[in-house]
Amino acid sequence: MSSLYVEVSPEPASDVPVRRVTITVNGEPRTADVEPRLLLAHLLRSGFGLTGTHTGCDTTNCGVCTVLFDGTPIKSCTMLAVQADGHEVLTVEGLAGASELHPIQEAFKDEHGLQCGFCTPGMMLTAKAFLEDNPDPTEDEVRWALSGNMCRCTGYQNIVKSVLAAAEMLRAKAGN
């Protein structure tokens, strides 16, 4: 324990079970003691302070909580933190490099692929995993890939454009 100070509740709820988990988040191992019922989304947000992962619907429908779990998009509102023990999670905060944005981030800005920005982190992470599988997709393929992520602002057209533009950038990069 390296903390200088940890507050301890005077009346600990003794029967609350706690489990220790270690999750590699954005490349860095993070360890926490969690209640088994804690959702991964809440650990990322409240525990690790990574508030770029949002929560919206609580029912696995909207996708604003999407993160990459060992490279695959999952809805972190429907996974328990304990299930992520020993796994790798990538959140929006891990998308950009030290000095430059990820091409998907550039493309979303360039093509006006976001308005309120609430769905954006989830959209971008879904798009990242998708483009790794399918670097040269058609518009229909993009639409299908994004169908687990809802957006209420943009009408999707510019999101689709963003993903296609990002695909082109990524292909150009890979060609170099």
Instruction: Kindly tell me the sign of the dihedral angle through the C-alpha atoms of 128, 133, 135, 141.
Output: negative
Say if strands 88-90 and 66-69 run parallel, antiparallel, or are unpaired: antiparallel
Phi and psi, residue 44, nearest 5°: -60, -45
Q: Which residues bind another protein (CB under 8 A)?
A: 9, 11-13, 35, 37-38, 45-46, 50-59, 61-62, 64, 91-93, 95-96, 101, 105, 108-110, 112, 114-121, 124, 142-144, 146-160
- Judged by beta carbon, residue 82 or residue 153, the one nearer another protein is 153
Binding site partner of 51, from ligand FES, another protein, none, Cβ cut-off 5-8 A by kind: another protein
End-to-end CA distance of the chain: 46
Task: Supply the minimum distance, in Å, between the C-beta of residue 28 and ligand FES.
Answer: 23
Task: Supply the minimum distance, in Å, between the C-beta of residue 105 and another protein.
Answer: 4
- Judged by beta carbon, residue 5 or residue 175, the one nearer another protein is 5
Instruction: Kindly tell me the sign of the dihedral angle through the C-alpha atoms of 149, 152, 157, 162.
Output: negative
- Judged by beta carbon, residue 17 or residue 176, the one nearer another protein is 17
Taking each helix axis from N to C end, the angle separating 103-110 and 157-175, rounded to the nearest 10 degrees, works out to 140
